[in-house]
Structure 1
Amino acid sequence: MIAIVGWMGSGFIFPSQEKVAATTRQELEPLAVAVSTSVAESVTQFYQAEGQALPDRDTLMRAEISGDIAEVLVSKGQDVDAGAVIARFDPANNVADSRRAAEELARAQREFDNAEQLLERGVATVDRVTQARAALASAQAQVTAVEQDAKALTITAPFAGRIETLDLDAGEFVSAGTEVGRLVDTTPLTVAIQVPQQSLVRIAVGQSATVKFITGEEREGAVTFVGTSAASETRTFLAEVEVPNEDGAIPAGISAEVVIPTGETTAHFLSASIVSLNTEGTLGIKTVDADNQVEFFPIEVVRAQIDGIWVTGLPESVDVITVGQGYVSEGEVVAPAAQEQK
């Protein structure tokens, strides 16, 4: 019995846990991943923004005098040249005012001449001459005002454009300062965009731009203005792109997409599906080095296309993990295999 107990205790039938672990432990094989060699290329960078088409000039036309409208010579929606007559006032009141002003001027001139002659004879006083001179100046000012009113009898277009609104009818009484219509010039158009402060250095006056309007029209234009003061609410800067519109086919007020080439850079073209995040949440790409170890490179997307993205932050030539990147970690040794090209 003692011999049996000793034999069992020797561990021949039940070996120790250390021996079991030693016989069952196996080395883990490196995880297989697919890689593809990527070489950096030169690519054009673009700044892209949504904007709104604005007329080159837009003004409200106002009546400068009060009176009855004698005739209206244009209609809403009509294209007019600079200086074209929009409407005319009835000149009757102005003619009467002109006659009164002329008569008053003649009377004031006689009074002044008489006062000066009497002063020379020693009959009149200097004060009387001064009063007569003031009355003469007032009469001359009245004549000038009537002459200005005569010019204002005709409402004209300050520049060439289209009559966008017109609130005038023949026979209607209009007070001075009343808005009678709106004139819009859409040749050329100005497309306004807002540029974030971090992108401002990429935009400059003179850069070419492609503008795609919501109507489907596409036109080439140029940057004509870049603001130097940010909007306090958005911290963005106003920039304007001028677009030819001689045919007037593109209306003002519609939305537009502006694409501005901003220079060349060296980048890699990759599938967006292989982008991953590291433990800190940084966007990047996993690669394999010469020792088959996984490396993680933070990247910056400089241009996006439907079929992929252009990124910077990688070496000029690098083996990018295209399959299996989600199962490996930085510093891990892997078994890379070249991905088959389709």
Structure 2
Amino acid sequence: MRFLLRAVRFILPFVVLGACVFVTWYLLKNPPPQEKKEMPPTFVRVEGTVLNKTEYELRVRSQGTVQPRTRSTLLPEVSGKIIEISPSFRPGGFFGQGDVLMRLDPLDYETAIVIAKGTLAQAEVMLAEEKARADQAVENWRAMGRTGTPSALVTRAPQVAKAEADVASAKAQIMKAERDLERTTIRSPYACQVLEQAVDVGQFVSQGTILGRIFAVDYVEIRLPLPERESQFLKLPQSFRDQSTATEDGAKVFLKSIVAGKPVAWEGKIVRVEGSLDAETRQATAVAQVTDPYARRADGSPPLTIGAFVEAEISGEPLRDVYIIPRNAVRAGNEIILIDRPQNTLRRLTVDPLVSNEKHIVVSASAAKAPKPGDVLCITPIPFPADGARVLPSIDGQMEADTAKEDKPAGKEPPMMVKPATT
């Protein structure tokens, strides 16, 4: 009995191992049938819009700093002590053309006029005496029985000429003294605003002393660099050697800036284009002019001050027969995606925009690489679009029919829809 138990214990593991090998061999030789399933194609749901020719109002953007059209440093033409200064002659004060800015002590120049008039009186007396001597000399010469024309020395012509010159000199001295007296009153050469005051009452000034600095307020100028691509569509006044211009009126300019935390707008126009390109950017520079920038406006907006930084939009000629393509539908390298109907397949197209900004690009409909009227533009960003890939578009808010159902074999499920990846 004990022997039998030992034999069973020895044989049983081999029996189990053999059974496992047999089952494994049988399963390998007779595998169970596997059910085959086909994965349906995955289509991306996208938004599209039909492209139609339209007209685009061009606005070329630029920026610049407000500068005065004329800036002057005031210098006295005569010397003297300042005895009066206008209360408005302070930084920010306004003056009209010819207004009195300050006065110098006129006493020395009034005295000079009196002295010059006395000199003139003496010179006129000497001239009268010389003319009388000349007449008497001619009579004496004829009384001596001489005939012919007396010489210049006989008629005292040199003496008379000197006396006449002395009279003219005295008159010139009076005119100079009167001009110097007028120059003691310093007036504004044009309508201006005071930028800097350098002197005050009681100070003695001489020729070359800086009294202050002013700038004209009839209009201001803004230098605006022009982008090369967009500038071809602008109406720019061009100057020529014969002083003529290609266009009489420049393009309108709309300026805006932030003043005291509030947006303020002004309107001006392009008056000229500078004669040379910028050495660094190779761009042309247009000069915009805003008339009467310090006038009070009905809306209470502040004036356009010197030194203000402004953003400008230059009105250009309207672009006709163009497509306006949203910026979010444009990929790197100015590539757009079109949806070809009725199969709703993708087609990539590289375009050459006429102008562009952060919102859209404008493409000419007549360009060699341009969409055709009625083409559908895909406005949904697709990370990796492939030519010929099929999508499910919603065109201008209307869902297109699923053309994939027409190609679906009988008994198959419709294609599964997935949302596109966003960028």
Using the size of structure 1 for normalisation, the TM-score is 0.77
Q: Does 1:36 align with 2:80?
A: no
Q: In the superposition, relative to structure 1, how do residues 338 and 196 fare at CA in structure 2: closer, same or farther (>3 Å)?
A: closer
1:210 is aligned to 254
CA pair 104-80 structure 1, distance change in 2 beyond 3 A: same
**Counterpart selection for 2:290 from 242, 264, 278:** 242
Q: Structure 1 pair 105/165, CA: closer, same or farther in 2 (3 Å)?
A: same
Asked whether the 8 Å contact 1:80–1:157 carries over to 2, the reply is: yes
CA contact (8 A) 1:84 1:156 kept: yes
The counterpart of 1:273, out of the listed 316, 324, 328, is 328
Is the Cα contact below 8 Å between 2:84 and 2:104 reproduced in 1?
A: yes
- After TM superposition, give the deviation of residue 228 of structure 1 in Å: 5.6
Q: Structure 1 residues 327 and 232, CA, compared in 2 at 3 Å: closer, same or farther?
A: closer
Q: Secondary structure at the match of 1:327?
A: coil
Partners in 2 of 1:126 and 1:241 — Cα distance? Answer: 63
| SS of 2:254 mapped into structure 1 | strand
The corresponding residue for 1:154 is 185
Aligned match of 1:327 in 357, 364, 384? 384
**Counterpart Cα distance in 1 of 2:379 and 2:266:** 38
Deviations 1:236-287 (A, max 9, x none): 233213154302633211100111221323444444333234xxxx422132
1: CA distance between counterparts of 2:196 and 2:314? 34
Larger deviation, residues 156-165 vs 264-273: 264-273
Q: What are the equivalent positions in structure 2 for 1:1-342 lying under 5 Å apart? A: 34=46, 36-40=48-52, 41-74=54-87, 75-76=89-90, 77-122=92-137, 125-196=156-227, 198=229, 199=231, 201-204=233-236, 205-215=249-259, 216-227=262-273, 229-231=275-277, 233=279, 234-243=282-291, 244-247=293-296, 249-265=303-319, 266-277=321-332, 282-289=333-340, 292=345, 294-300=347-353, 302-305=355-358, 308-312=359-363, 313-323=370-380, 326-328=383-385, 332-339=387-394, 341=397
Separation in 2 of the partners of 1:141 and 1:208? 53
Report the secondary structure of 2:190's partner residue: coil
Residues 346, 391 of structure 2: 8 Å contact kept: no
Q: 1:32 to 1:80 in 2, by over 3 A?
A: closer
Q: Give the secondary-structure state (helix, strand or coil) at the position aligned to 1:50.
A: strand
Distance in 2 (CA, whole Å) between partners of 1:49 and 1:231 is 16
Q: Quick one: percent identity of the two aligned structures?
A: 18
Q: C-alpha separation between the residues in 2 aligned to 1:301 and 1:285?
A: 15
Query: Which stretch has the larger CA shift, 123-132 or 89-98?
Result: 123-132
Cα deviation digits, residues 278-337 of structure 1 (max 9, x gap): xxxx422132445746241313163435xx3132143332222445755345xx422232
The alpha-carbon deviation at position 174 of structure 1 amounts to 0.7
5+ residue gaps, structure 1: 1-25
Task: Return the offset for 1:206.
Answer: 4.4
For residues 324 and 125 of structure 1, what CA distance do their matches in structure 2 show?
107
Q: Does the aligned pair in 2 maintain the 1:98–1:146 contact within 8 Å?
A: yes
Give the 3 Å change call, closer, same or farther, for CA 270–224 of structure 1 in structure 2: closer
> Residues 31-76 of structure 1: CA distance to partner in whole angstroms, max 9, x if unpaired?
8684623323333111111011223543322211111112222241
Instruction: Tell me how large the CA RMSD over aligned residues is.
Output: 3.1
**How many equivalent residue pairs?**
308
